[in-house]
Structure 1
Amino acid sequence: MTLHLIVDLLALISGVLMSIWFRRQYGLERPRGINQEAQHHYYLLVLLLGLVAGSLLLGTLNLRLSGQAGLAKSMLGGVFAAIVAAEIFKYFAGIRQSTGLYFVPGLVVLIAVGRIGCFFAGLDDFTYGIETQLPWGVDFGDGLKRHPVQLYETFVMFAFLGVLLIGYPKHPAFWQAQGFYVFVLVYAGQRLIWEFLKPYSIVLPPFNLFQLLCLGLLGYAVVMLLKTRKAYG
C-alpha cells in the first residue's frame, strides 16, 4: 500500500469523522430543505455519482490535455460536477435554499488531508508545482525545486475550517444560508491562483481546464451569495 493511498484513506476517515462531529454538535440531521428520508437518500446518491463521475472524467481530461496518459482523479472536477448534480436535483425537487453546509466541514478536511497525500506522491501524481527559487521549494526527485502547491491548498483549507468552526456558533443563520457558497468562493479562488503554478496545458489563454472550472464555480458562488443575501438579511 503506497503512502498516497494511506493518506487518502486517512483523508476519507478524518473527513467522515469531522462531518459526524459537526452534525451531532449542532443537530444537523439532514441538509436544509430536505425533509423526507427517501429524498435525503436520493440526494446523497446524486451527489456521490456527480462527485465520482466529475472527478474521473475531468481529472482524466486534464491529464490528456497536458499530454499525459492514464487515468486521473480531480477533487475540483468532482466538486464541480457534484454542484451541478445538486442544483439539478434541487430544481426538480422544488428546493430553493442552500443544502450544502451539511457537507462542508467533512469536505474541507477531505481536501486538506488528501492534498498531503498528493504532496507525498511527488512527480507520479502530476499535482506538483512549477520550478521556483523560493526557499520552501521542494525537490520531488527530478533535481528541481518546485512550488509545493499541494500544501498551499492544505493550509488554506485548514484556515477556512478554523473560520467556520469559530464563526458557526456565533452566526449559525448566516452559515446555514450562505456558508456553502462562501466555501465554494474560497476553494475555487485559491485553486484558480495555485493553478498558475502548475505545468498544465492552457485551454483558453491564460487558463487551463481547472481554472475554467474555477471561474465557473466563482461565478456560481457570487450569484448565489447575492441571491441569498436578501433571504439572509
Structure 2
Amino acid sequence: MNFPYQFELFGSKVYYHFIFETLAFFIGVRLYYYLKKKTPDSINDINRLWILLGAMIGALIGSRVIAMLENPSQIMNQTWMIFYQNKTVAGGFLGGLFGVELIKKCIGVKIASGDIYVIPIIVALFIGRIGCFSMGIAEPAYGVETTFFTAMNLGDGKLRHPVALYEMTFMVLLFIFFIKIKNMNLINGDRFKLFMMLYFLYRFLVEFIKPYQPLFLNLSSIQWSALFIFVYYWKFTVRILKVK
C-alpha cells in the first residue's frame, strides 16, 4: 500500500483524508437531524442550537489544546498555525463537554442533552478514521512496531499496529451495542455518558500501543483526559454498576 492516499484535482494533490473528514462531518450532521425528527426532544430548537454552538466552540478549542499537550517537548515551539492544524478527537470531546455544560448553565437548561448525538458521533468517527488510516504515518493515528498478526506497513517500511483500523472496529462494536440497548429504560443522558466512558476507556488503553510522549506520571494528555472523564462521571459509573 502506498501511504498517504491522494489524488490529483485540477493539477493539485488532494489527500483522501480531507474527503473523509468532510464526509464525516456532513453525514454526522445529517444523521443527527434525521434522528432528531424521529425523537421527541424536550429541549426547544433555539436552546438546542445554542448547545450545538457551545459544543462546536468547545471542541474546536479542546481538540487543539489536548493535541498541543500530546507533544510537551514542543510546546514552547508552538506557532499559531501549528496549534490550529494539530487536533485530536479526544480533546474535541473533552472541550465539547465543557462547552455544552457552560452554555447550558448560561441559558438555564438543566436536562441532559447528549443522547441524541451518540449514533451520529459513532458514524462520523468511523468515517473520519478511514481518512486517518489513508494517511499512514503522516497522521498520528498509528501504533508502535509489532509482530501481532494485524501489523501493517503504514508507509515507513515498519510493521505497526494499525490503530485507525482498531478504532473503526471499535466504532462498529459501539454502534451494534447502542442499537441493542436502544429500547432499554435508561435515564435521559445515560447513553451519552456510557459512550464517553467506553470511548475514553478505549483511548486510554490504545495509547499504550502508540508512540506517545508522556505529559505527567508517564501518561499522555489523552490518558489524563480519559482519567478526568472517569472522575467526572464517577456517580454515573457507581449507579450503572449498581455499586452500593
TM-score category, normalised to shorter length: 0.7 to 0.9
Distance 1:64 1:2 in 2: 28
- State whether residues 72 and 213 of structure 2, in contact with CA within 8 Å, keep that contact through their aligned partners in structure 1: no
Cα separation, 2, equivalents of 1:7 and 1:228: 35
The equivalent residue for 1:59 is 67
Report how far residue 175 of structure 1 moved.
Answer: 6.1
Structure-1-length-normalised TM-score: 0.85
* One-letter amino acid matched to 2:92: G
Question: For residues 220 and 68 of structure 2, what CA distance do their matches in structure 1 show?
Answer: 14
Q: Return the offset for 1:91.
A: 3.2
**Structure 1 residues 93-104: aligned runs within 5 Å:** 93-104=107-118
Range with bigger deviation, 154-163 or 87-96: 87-96
Q: Distance in 2 between matches of 1:228 and 1:48?
A: 28
**For 1:141 and 1:40, how far apart are their aligned partners in 2?**
43
Q: TM-score, normalised by structure 2?
A: 0.82
2:54/2:102 contact within 8 Å kept: no
Give the counterpart letter for 1:146 in structure 2.
R
AA aligned opposite 1:190: Y
Once residues 32 and 46 of structure 2 are traced to their aligned partners in structure 1, the CA distance between those partners, rounded to angstroms, is 20
Partners of 1:9 and 1:93 in 2: how far apart?
30
Contact 1:46 1:85 in 2 (8 A): yes
Report matched runs for 1:108-147 at 5 Å.
108-147=122-161
8 Å CA contact 1:56–1:74 kept in 2: the answer is yes
Q: 1:6 aligns with which of 15, 19, 31?
A: 19
What is the match of residue 11 of structure 2?
A: none
Higher helix proportion: 1
3-state SS in 1 of match to 2:26: helix
User: 1:122 offset after TM fit, Å?
Assistant: 0.9
What secondary structure is seen at the aligned counterpart in 2 of 1:151? helix
Could you say which residue in structure 1 is the equivalent of 2:48? 40
Gaps of 5+ in 2: 1-13
Give the aligned partner of residue 58 of structure 2: 50
- Partners of 1:21 and 1:94 lie apart in 2 by 26
Percent of residue pairs bearing the same amino acid type: 26
Alignment partners' CA distance in 1, 2:73 and 2:115: 33
Change (3 A) 1:211 1:66: farther
Report how many residues are paired: 223
Q: Deviations over 1:148-188 (max 9, x none)?
A: 111111111221111212321x22x4163411100001110
* Partner Cα separation in structure 2 for residue 75 and residue 65 of structure 1: 21
Post-superposition CA distance 1:129-156 (Å, at most 9, x none): 0111012101112121111111111111
Give the equivalent residue in structure 2 for 1:204: 216
Give the superposed CA RMSD. 2.4
AA partner of residue 107 (structure 1):
I
Can you list the C-alpha shifts for 1:164-217, whole angstroms capped at 9, x where unaligned?
12321x22x416341110000111000101111111111122311110001111
The answer (yes or no) to whether the contact 2:62–2:94 under 8 Å persists in 1 is: yes
Query: Could you say which residue in structure 1 is the equivalent of 2:198?
Result: 186
> 1:184·1:221 contact (CA, 8 Å) conserved in 2?
no
Letter in 2 for 1:78: G
Question: Quick one: distance in 2 between partners of 1:203 and 1:64?
Answer: 6
Alpha-carbon distance in 1 for matches of 2:33, 2:235 = 30
